[in-house]
Amino acid sequence: QCAGRDIKRLSVMQAAAKLDSKPSLEGEEAGHEEGHGLAVEDKDDDVGTWDPVAAFGDLNAYADAHPHFTSSAIAWIIAGNVLGLVGLFLVLFSEVRMVMTVRTQDTRKQLVVLQHMVPTERLKEVAEEEKRSVAGRPYITALGSVLLVAGAACFLTPFCDILDIIGVSSGVPCAVIVLMEAVVFGVCVSCFLVALCWSCTRPWAAIVFMVISLMGDILCPTGNVLLVCVWFAFSALLFGAYFYWLPASYADKEEEVPAWVQSVGPLDISLDPKRWQQAGESIGKEATDLLVNAGNNLQTLNPLAVKQKIVGKDGIEPVVGMRVRMAAQYTEKGIGTISQVHPSKKHCAVSWDLGGVENQLYTDGRAEYLVVVEPADTADKNV
């Protein structure tokens, strides 16, 4: 009986101990759950906060573990720079050459208006030759713009891998962002270069290109796809309205085109095989002339290498039939032929190939009119 009572007493004591310990256990569990919740919250805070120091460390660790990563990134960047420089050269070469051609045409038109030059069949032939020579201009400029876009895309490509490594991402795929930024960069740079080249010859047209470039520089760095689309639409409308719609509307009305509506030469890129053939021939001729005359052009930049041979100086006497041109410091009139020489040999008459005659060009050393012997003819005559 005593043993039974002891067992019952022990059971009661154990039950009481369990009842006393239950709140503490519940508190511990609650505290554990609360602590667990705090730990989760802290963990979420750590995930949502980007640490640049840790990201830089992750990038260094990845580069150390993958040696090819750095070399690949450098290769992409170098390729992008090379393509960009080639595109820059093509755009500048094409536009500067077009500007010089248009300036020559403007000078001829002004001389005809002032009756200093008579329109001849030779002038028409020269105009046709110039038209053929610039047939490849839109294709060269477009190719340069495409190379600028490709160069920018190559340059930005490694940054996609870098963003993935450091844990920075957006809802838009990185390839889409790179392509969008590359296209914007290529168009903006091309328009800026074209505006720069035409700023003196066609200022109103240059303003159109500059507005397109500046609007792209302002809106597109935000990375907002909507703003980029708005800029593309605005640029296309402005370009088409100024260079196509306005000239066509005045032509249909048979009205004189206002001075602020200016042309910058051919802009159309045709899919006609004949046009592609003409453009290819023009580009080939330009490239050949550039390579053949490269040495001569470099020499002309050095005033000590080439000395102007002035008729009437340096023992050079004017002779009928001598091929001459105006000195570099005077108005360019092309190449001409001495048709008459005064008995005193102090002045002569010159018939210009583009039309017009100068009856009195001094050859006695006066500063008003100095005639330079064409280099090719001086070599033939051993002057």
Residue 202 has pLDDT above 80, yes or no: yes
Q: Are 264 and 205 in contact (CB under 8 A)?
A: yes
**pLDDT tens sequence across 293-303:** 555 545 444 44
The DSSP bridge pattern shows strands 357-362 and 371-373 to be unpaired
Q: What is the rounded CA–CA span in Å between residue 53 and residue 64?
A: 17
Confidence (pLDDT) at 19: 44
| Position 306 pLDDT exceeds 50 | no
- Tell whether the model's pLDDT for residue 273 goes beyond 60: yes
The DSSP letter of residue 315 is T
What value does the mean pLDDT of the chain take?
76
Measured distance CA(50)–CA(59) in Å, rounded? 14
Contacts of 10 (CB under 8 A, 6+ apart): none
pLDDT band at residue 169 using 50, 70 and 90 as cut-offs? low
| pTM, to two decimals | 0.63
pLDDT at 37 (0 to 100): 39
Nearest CA-CA partner of 336 in 357, 318, 362: 357
Both structure tokens of 150:
């490709």
**Sign of torsion over alpha carbons 326, 328, 329, 332:** positive
Is the pLDDT confidence value at 282 over 60? yes
How far is residue 101's CA from residue 108's CA, in Å, rounded to a whole number? 11
Mean pLDDT of the region 303-325: 69
Q: Is residue 146 pLDDT above 80, yes or no?
A: yes
Is pLDDT at 97 greater than 80 in this prediction? yes
The pLDDT, as a whole number, for residue 267 is 86
Provide φ and ψ at 361, rounded to 5°.
Answer: -110, 120
Instruction: Tell me the residue ranges of DSSP E strands in the chain.
Output: 323-326, 335-341, 347-352, 357-362, 371-373
Mean pLDDT, range 364-383, rounded to an integer: 51
Dihedral angle sign, alpha carbons of residues 39, 43, 49, 50:
positive
Q: What share of the chain has pLDDT > 90, as a percent?
A: 23
The single residue listed with the structure tokens 């009119």 is: 369
Integer Rg of the chain from CA: 39
CA distance 178 to 153: 6
Percent of the chain with pLDDT over 70: 73
Place of tokens 């583009």: 354
Identify the weakest region by mean pLDDT among 162-166, 215-219, 379-383: 379-383
pLDDT bracket for residue 3 (50, 70, 90): very low
Tokens found for residue 66: 């993958």
User: In this predicted structure, what is the pLDDT of residue 244?
Assistant: 92
Q: Which of 69-83, 171-185, 287-301 has the highest mean pLDDT?
A: 69-83
Q: Are strands 335-341 and 323-326 parallel, antiparallel or unpaired?
A: antiparallel
Lowest mean pLDDT among 8-17, 112-121, 132-141: 8-17
Model pLDDT for residues 322-356, shown as the tens digit of each residue:
888 877 667 777 788 888 888 877 788 888 887 77
Amino acid 131: pLDDT: 82
Closest CA to 363 of 351, 343, 344, 347: 347
Whether the CB-CB separation of 145 and 90 falls below 8 Å is answered with no
pLDDT band at 149 (very low <50, low <70, confident <90, very high): very high
The number of CA neighbours under 13 Å toward the Cβ of 285 is 14
Say what the pLDDT of residue 319 is: 81
